[in-house]
């Protein structure tokens, strides 16, 4: 039997969170690490989501690492290709690519309490790690709709996150299922070239104007040459986004100007009364993610586009049948139905001290962690973009970097105190999440709509119910008193083969 690859820190995923982990830990001297990435390259979400029109809905200067600002963004809102190139460039410049093993699928992550280490099985062999960092992200597993007959469709079917660029769309009948963040980018991009486009909508989203513009050469030059200018712009963008938190989590009246802007945007862009009725949201603004687009409404008004609001009954070999009995012919089905955020299949592979998988634990107790990062029963496991870290208004990279501060200080603390393991205390985790639930109960996210923020019980365990600065303060330092810990010496003494295991 082959010996496992022994490593101090094992990171799963090479998107923004996993890559950021490798960079920060290497900078801090924790260079005995490996990153396992199932894809062929770094990038995560921005490698996989290459659908037509894919772009970020967070301002470019805000959607980047604070330690690797990019003065050369071409636009206020970066397209997918630029973000992907940025991630690859940062990987090369920081020298962490040599730490990454590509094309490796992690099949199980199991804790060995006797040795205080994690046994990790992969498609490329076994690993033995003291610390595991999950950087798989919230958007790694596409959610495919359970529609009767979809497997019998004779044409091409693919999710936006797995876009099949080999499938021609010109002059063909295309159906897009969903009207979320991906759909409002795809539809305007393909509508001019397809023969006919049916867009299937369950709930009309709130859509605001996209304040996008190209950055002229002079402006980009100033970002490169004027010290502090780009940081100042980034700070202003951050502050303007944070203002929304007041309305989302505290005073609903603070959302009134945003709601008025959304209504005005709709009224100006949709003149047809019947279409306007279809695209008017019937829920509180902010309950679902607020979308940004200047081209969504005009695309729906095209002669070759129909917005279908009747529920889908089933799929046939040649199209979609809606609840009113009408069959809508289609050659291609594009599924824009989001991701497994609160129920990622990956968590079925992570098994803790009591033998339960992380998915089993969260199904029975609710999706929860301590500071979104550590979980009782899973020593030395750090989850990035974990429970209660998601955002609907700002840059997730800010939250990731906050978690990385916590992770780095945790490893420093373990080294200073000669600790083999740390595990958050159950009572501490429960108290923390009780307070989070109290805050979340007052937010706009639980006012009655259906969204990826919610689990199947109607709770909102995925989103952070406060200012992001509050999360940054929480995660500034590792609070060892909140954790059960085991020293390296004590574990070695308690285990007959402990010294061997810890070498």
pLDDT tens readout for residues 24-47: 999 999 999 999 999 999 999 999
Q: What is the pLDDT of residue 494?
A: 62
Mean pLDDT, residues 73-79 taken together: 98
- Predicted confidence band of residue 353 (pLDDT cuts 50, 70, 90): very high
- How far, in Å, CA of 204 to CA of 389, rounded? 26
- Predicted confidence band of residue 459 (pLDDT cuts 50, 70, 90): confident
- How far, in Å, CA of 199 to CA of 188, rounded? 11
Q: What is the pLDDT of residue 454?
A: 83
Q: What is the pLDDT of residue 493?
A: 65
Q: What is the pLDDT of residue 452?
A: 80
C-alpha dihedral, 433 to 439 to 441 to 443, nearest 10°: -130
pLDDT tens readout for residues 217-233: 999 999 999 999 999 99
DSSP H helical segments within 124-251, as ranges?
183-190, 217-225, 229-242, 244-249
pTM: 0.94
Q: Match domain 5-141+340-502 to its CATH number in 3.40.225.10, 3.40.50.1100, 3.50.50.60, 3.90.1150.10.
A: 3.50.50.60
- In 13-165, DSSP assigns E strands to 33-37, 100-102, 106-112, 117-122, 125-134, 156-159
Residues 150-205+243-335, CATH architecture: 3-Layer(bba) Sandwich (3.50)
- How far, in Å, CA of 159 to CA of 336, rounded? 6
- How far, in Å, CA of 478 to CA of 469, rounded? 17
Which of 126, 173, 135, 156 is CA-nearest to residue 12? Answer: 135
CATH 3.50.50.60 boundaries in the chain? 5-141+340-502, 150-205+243-335
Q: Is the per-residue pLDDT at 256 higher than 90?
A: yes
Q: Is the per-residue pLDDT at 117 higher than 70?
A: yes
pLDDT tens readout for residues 308-337: 999 999 999 999 999 999 999 999 999 999
Mean pLDDT across the chain = 95
Sign of CA dihedral 314, 335, 144, 39: positive
Mean pLDDT, residues 260-287 taken together: 97
Percent of the chain with pLDDT over 90: 90
Copy the structure tokens of residue 197: 């486009």
- Predicted confidence band of residue 99 (pLDDT cuts 50, 70, 90): very high
């Amino acid at each position: 039997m082959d010996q496992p690859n022994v490593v101090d820190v094992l990171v799963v995923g090479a998107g923004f969170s996993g890559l950021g982990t490798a960079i920060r830990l290497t900078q801090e001297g924790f260079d005995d690490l490996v990153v396992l990435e199932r894809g062929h390259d770094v990038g995560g979400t921005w490698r996989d989501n290459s659908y037509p029109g894919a772009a970020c809905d967070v301002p470019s200067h805000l959607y980047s690492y604070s330690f690797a600002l990019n003065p050369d963004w071409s636009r206020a809102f970066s397209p997918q290709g630029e973000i992907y190139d940025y991630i690859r460039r940062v990987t090369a410049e920081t020298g962490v690519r040599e730490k990454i093993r590509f094309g490796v699928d992690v099949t199980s992550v199991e804790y060995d309490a006797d040795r205080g280490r994690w046994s990790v099985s992969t498609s490329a062999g076994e690993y033995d790690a003291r610390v595991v960092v999950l950087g798989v992200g919230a958007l790694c597993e596409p959610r495919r709709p359970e529609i009767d007959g979809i497997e019998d469709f004779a044409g091409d079917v693919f999710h936006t996150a797995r876009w099949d660029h080999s499938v021609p769309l010109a002059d063909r009948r295309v159906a897009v299922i969903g009207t979320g963040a991906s759909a409002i980018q795809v539809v305007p991009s393909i509508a001019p070239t397809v023969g006919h486009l049916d867009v299937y909508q369950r709930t009309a989203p709130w859509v605001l104007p996209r304040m996008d513009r190209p950055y002229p050469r002079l402006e980009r030059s100033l970002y490169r040459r004027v010290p502090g200018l780009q940081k100042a712009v980034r700070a202003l963008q951050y502050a303007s986004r944070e203002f929304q938190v007041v309305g989302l989590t505290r005073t609903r009246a603070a959302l009134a100007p945003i709601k008025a802007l959304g209504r005005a945007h709709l009224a100006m862009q949709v003149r047809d009364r019947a279409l306007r009725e279809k695209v008017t949201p019937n829920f509180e603004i902010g309950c679902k993610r607020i979308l940004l687009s200047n081209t969504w409404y005009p695309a729906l008004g095209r002669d070759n586009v129909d917005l279908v609001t009747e529920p889908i009954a089933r799929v046939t070999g040649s199209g979609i049948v809606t609840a009113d009995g009408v069959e809508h012919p289609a050659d291609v089905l594009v599924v824009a139905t989001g991701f497994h955020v609160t129920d990622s299949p990956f968590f079925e592979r992570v098994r803790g001290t009591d033998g339960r998988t992380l998915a089993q634990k969260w199904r029975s107790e609710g999706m929860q962690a301590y500071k979104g990062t550590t979980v009782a029963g899973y020593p030395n496991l750090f989850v990035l973009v974990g429970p209660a870290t998601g955002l609907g208004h700002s840059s997730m990279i800010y939250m990731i970097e906050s978690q990385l501060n916590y992770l780095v200080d945790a490893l420093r603390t373990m080294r200073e105190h000669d600790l083999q393991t740390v595990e958050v205390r159950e009572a501490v985790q429960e108290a923390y999440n009780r307070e989070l639930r109290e805050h979340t109960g007052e937010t706009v996210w639980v006012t009655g709509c259906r969204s990826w923020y919610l689990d199947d019980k109607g709770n909102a365990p995925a989103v952070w119910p406060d200012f992001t600065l509050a999360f940054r303060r929480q995660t500034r330092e590792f609070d060892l008193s909140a954790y059960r810990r085991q020293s390296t010496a004590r574990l070695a003494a308690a285990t007959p083969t402990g010294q061997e295991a810890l070498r």
